[in-house]
Structure 1
Amino acid sequence: MIPVPSKIESQIFTLYDLEQRLKPLGYVIGGNWDYYHGSFDYEIDDKVGYQFLRVPFNVVNGHLDDKEVTVKLGEPFLLSHKYQIGLDDNVHVGNKTASFDQFSEPEDPDAEFPEEYVGVGKELVQELESTLLS
């Protein structure tokens, strides 16, 4: 994980406004959210695992399932997940677990971030700043 300091940190927005501005740029709301925090993820590459720019946020007012929820952005960071290549040999699928255990386990959920994409991540943060702060 590589932190990328930014002027967007601590800025407050409605989640709806953020979605309207960030989704056209290629950001999605990450799957690891609950009612009080979440993140926007931008996939940089997926050749050897996945490299993301992640922009975390915490709820200021409301819950993430509220229509008018406001959130405060955290410090963006670069993140890499590396998955096992080959057979899903650690998967034991039965009728009760088939929908949960169908994919291979991460080989390294916090893998080293490739140096070649650090500059790309910093440029993406600059784009975020110009999109959100202007």
Structure 2
Amino acid sequence: MIPIASSLENKVFSLYELEKQLKPLGYVVGGNWDYDEGCFDYQMADQGGYEYLRIPFKVESGMLDAPGATVRLGSPFVLAHIYQGGVENHADNGALQGMVNQFQSPVDPDAKVPDKYVNRGKKLVQQLEHLLV
């Protein structure tokens, strides 16, 4: 995990407005959310694992599954997950492989992030700062 300094940290936004702006850019609300925290993930690569830019958030008011929630953004970071080899031999590429990978544990959930993805993550954060701040 590589933290990225950002002016987005501690900014409060409507979750609905964030989703309207970030989803068209390719961000998704990560699958490990609960009622008071979650993250926006941007997948940068999926070769032998997955490299993500992650923007964590905590609920300021409301609940994530209810209209009107506001969230406070945390410090963005880049991370890499390397998944178990061989699983794809039993699942075609595409939706089926994605479903299988979704439920398997990563071999290395905090793998070394190549410099090119750290640099890309920094550029993506700058893009978000210009869009949101």
TM-score range, shorter chain: 0.7 to 0.9
Distance (whole Å) between structure 2 residues aligned to residue 63 and residue 114 of structure 1:
36
Distance (whole Å) between structure 2 residues aligned to residue 7 and residue 74 of structure 1:
10
The runs of at least 4 consecutive aligned structure 1 residues that moved more than 2 Å come to 102-105
Match in the other structure for 2:35: 35
Distance (whole Å) between structure 2 residues aligned to residue 48 and residue 87 of structure 1:
12
Percent sequence identity over aligned pairs: 55
- In terms of Rg, which structure is larger? 1
Distance (whole Å) between structure 2 residues aligned to residue 60 and residue 31 of structure 1:
20
Q: Which runs of 5+ in 2 are unaligned?
A: 89-98
Q: Which runs of 5+ in 1 are unaligned?
A: 89-98
Distance (whole Å) between structure 2 residues aligned to residue 64 and residue 125 of structure 1:
23
What count of residue pairs does the alignment treat as equivalent? 123
The question of 1:70 aligning with 2:70 is answered yes
Match in the other structure for 1:105: 105
Root mean square deviation, CA, Å: 2.0
The question of 1:50 aligning with 2:50 is answered yes
Cα offsets for 1:14-63 (capped at 9, x unmatched): 10000001011110000000000000000000112000000000000011
Report the CA distance between 1:87 and its aligned residue: 4.2
The question of 1:4 aligning with 2:4 is answered yes
Distance (whole Å) between structure 2 residues aligned to residue 66 and residue 104 of structure 1:
29
Q: Would you tell me which structure has more helix in proportion to its own residues?
A: 2
The alpha-carbon distance between structure 1 residues 107 and 70, as it changes in their structure 2 partners (threshold 3 A), is: same
Bigger mean CA deviation after superposition, 4-13 or 112-121: 112-121
Report the CA distance between 1:78 and its aligned residue: 0.2
The alpha-carbon distance between structure 1 residues 38 and 104, as it changes in their structure 2 partners (threshold 3 A), is: closer
| TM-score calculated relative to the size of structure 2 | 0.86
Cα offsets for 1:90-113 (capped at 9, x unmatched): xxxxxxxxx99x954311111111
